[in-house]
Amino acid sequence: MSKLYLIGAGPGDPELLTVKAVRLLKECDVVLYDRLVSAEVLRLARPDAERIYVGKHEGEQEITQQKIFDLILHHTRLGKVVGRLKGGDPLVFGRGAEEWALALEHGIEVELAPGISSAVAVPGLANIPLTYRGVSRSFAVATAHCQEDREQDWACYAHVDTLVVLMGVKNREFVARSLIAAGRRPDEPVAFIERATLQDEKVVESTLGAVAAGEVEAVSPAVFVIGEVVRLRERLSNQLRATTNFASR
């Protein structure tokens, strides 16, 4: 029986997949996977499953999305189980809900395996908590990518304690300038967490003002974190190292 599985691949490290995600991957006849899905995660699919890369590139997002819709319909009409494997969580800026709606419109059964969103997991794994008593009581997640005819209203994020921006590397200067214009402090600490959870992960720390001035280099994919919680990274990293050293004695 044909079926569509929306599967969250998490931020990259295969150990961060849910048990359900691994189980569903092994049931798929076809796996449609994104650019941010690591090779280690993809290897968890059934050996004989057809793997189709559907990663999106700048300027081709709408064309690629239509191709994804077509592939879902084509393979499910052949009676296959299709796994739509997305980095992070399928419903967090991944257009997973649109694919869900399309499937339902065509009578295709859908099952969701939520993924660990990079917006929440990546800062924590880099020793940056999104909330901390006396420092941050709230956080918000925004995307720097919007529809061509719509612009992000950065003013609504001016007073959020911790702001996480996904897909924000390319437009980081504009985002930083917009946030400063909306009222955030230029000296507010920020961090770019590149290639999160993978062996070549890198964390770049700076200030919002330096990013706005074009003084901060960052490489995509990266999670952009803005807020006073970034200052806690050194303290929590030192504590983690101390605990690790003590445990190894």
Q: What are the catalytic residues?
A: 34, 56, 167
Look up residue 92 and give its two tokens: 């967090």
8 A C-beta contact, residue 115 and residue 88: yes
Q: Which of 157, 54, 147 is nearest to 93 (CA)?
A: 147
Angle between helices 61-77 and 96-105 (to 10 degrees): 40
Contacts for 120-125 with beta carbons within 8 Å, 24 or more apart? 120/164, 121/10, 121/11, 121/16, 121/196, 121/197, 122/11, 122/193, 122/196, 122/197, 122/223, 123/164, 123/191, 123/193, 123/223, 123/225, 123/229, 125/11, 125/196, 125/197
8 A C-beta contact, residue 216 and residue 175: no
Within the chain, where are the H helices?
19-25, 39-42, 61-77, 96-105, 118-125, 172-182, 208-212, 232-247
